[in-house]
Structure 1
């Protein structure tokens, strides 16, 4: 380790970092919502590879979540909860703390409720209903709010917390009619920035990682191959971002190297969208 590398303070034996410290990834207990498949599973695996303990949240993918947990016995726990249900989220948080003997202090808001990335199947401007918009707000905004608030008391007690939410590059490059999804994620970005200011004095950072279309997740499985080819041709890297590449950026925001970063939205799409 070089002299310029931030050195995490040693936390108590229970695994809670001392107040104001920058915890190593291996010291963290991480909740990944929607963690059983696709991007969520890639994020879980990235944290587990760094030695973290991970709560793999799922709503309906029990078998996939348990299979992933079984790959990392002792350090991964699969727990069900619909993030839209506050009581279910609170139960998940308390069950995880009891299981690991220490509370969750890092949360990744990844859960995506009932959405498929296929522009041909989405409602266009002249036909989209408010109910469609509301459905995505329930998952992306209410769900994230439930998770953050349920984990917040433990973060405040520890004097440290990491909140990372998954956004989209469609804020800057709205080329497909994902009106409900994009509006909900834009609201989540606003919440990211306002919560960063509100929670910063408690040692809690709040950031967002925004990808483009990923190749491939369950949500993007219906995307035609020519769409992927067109995106790749428009990026400086001439490739479509993978779930694993986006997961790397999530690790950065949770790591000691991001201890001075909050309220930010990092775009990870191979350079397709510029800032």
Structure 2
């Protein structure tokens, strides 16, 4: 299915990487569902930039199955066709702040639970709700957002890194389970992004160090990652599933 024929849900689509992904799909003519949890104004800005004829902002906490069901139903009614493509991007209560991160002495299981629910549980909810329509269409694209910190935890963000490692396992198992129905499940893992709300607490000297250490001599941008997400949704990736594409300028070579 061409990108311009797809209806794409981006969870956490109101800011940062999510907004960049939403705009990238909008640029290619897809119909875009900008999911947000709290910031309606930011979500509406993304919709306005894409164009209201091809985008809608819908509130919902993706950790709650009932909320996800409402998001999918509203999108289906608005565009008069079901969602074909899901980008699980939402990030819950986390900042990339190495100086104030939780260490082994201060972290507890509740901290892990918050991130597991925001990544794995939320992705499970969107897969469950999208599956039947994708099976009916014999087409579905699910793209999960990971991190290169799984391969190389240069900063031990324990709860975040571990939740994304679990999301990679989720990605591969879902790829195996859903593949016979024409549904692909892949992951795109960016490096530290310059600069989003989540990375705002990261000092400039850290970005400088990444730039010096990276083969492309640049820090990854949200737009870099967004275009890789487009690849997995496009016809060019029709034979690819269960894969993790690291987009960080070559900092991690997996």
Q: Same fold (TM over 0.5)?
A: yes
TM-score range, shorter chain: over 0.9
- Name structure 2 gaps, 5 residues minimum: none
Paired position in structure 2 for 1:48: 26
**RMSD of aligned Cα (Å):** 0.6
Paired position in structure 2 for 1:235: 214
Q: CA deviation at 1:134?
A: 0.6
Q: CA deviation at 1:126?
A: 2.2
Question: Which of 161, 169, 173 is residue 182 of structure 1 equivalent to?
Answer: 161
**Aligned with 1:221: secondary structure?**
coil
Check if 1:25 corresponds to 2:3: yes
Paired position in structure 2 for 1:89: 68
Question: Which of 155, 180, 184 is residue 201 of structure 1 equivalent to?
Answer: 180
Could you give the per-residue CA deviations for residues 5-39 of structure 1, whole angstroms, max 9, x where no partner exists? xxxxxxxxxxxxxxxxxx00000000000000000
Check if 1:70 corresponds to 2:87: no
What is the number of equivalent residue pairs in this alignment? 253
Check if 1:139 corresponds to 2:118: yes
Q: CA deviation at 1:122?
A: 1.2
Question: Which of 69, 89, 96 is residue 117 of structure 1 equivalent to?
Answer: 96
Distance 1:203 1:216 in 2: 36
Q: CA deviation at 1:92?
A: 0.5
Check if 1:79 corresponds to 2:46: no
Distance 1:142 1:55 in 2: 20
Q: CA deviation at 1:247?
A: 0.4
Paired position in structure 2 for 1:167: 146
- Name structure 1 gaps, 5 residues minimum: 1-22
Q: Normalising to structure 1: TM-score of the pair?
A: 0.91
Distance 2:39 2:189 in 1: 24
Q: Normalising to structure 2: TM-score of the pair?
A: 0.99
Question: Which of 243, 248, 252 is residue 269 of structure 1 equivalent to?
Answer: 248
Paired position in structure 2 for 1:128: 107
Larger Rg: 1
Q: CA deviation at 1:206?
A: 0.1
Distance 2:57 2:100 in 1: 32
Q: CA deviation at 1:222?
A: 1.0
Q: CA deviation at 1:59?
A: 0.3
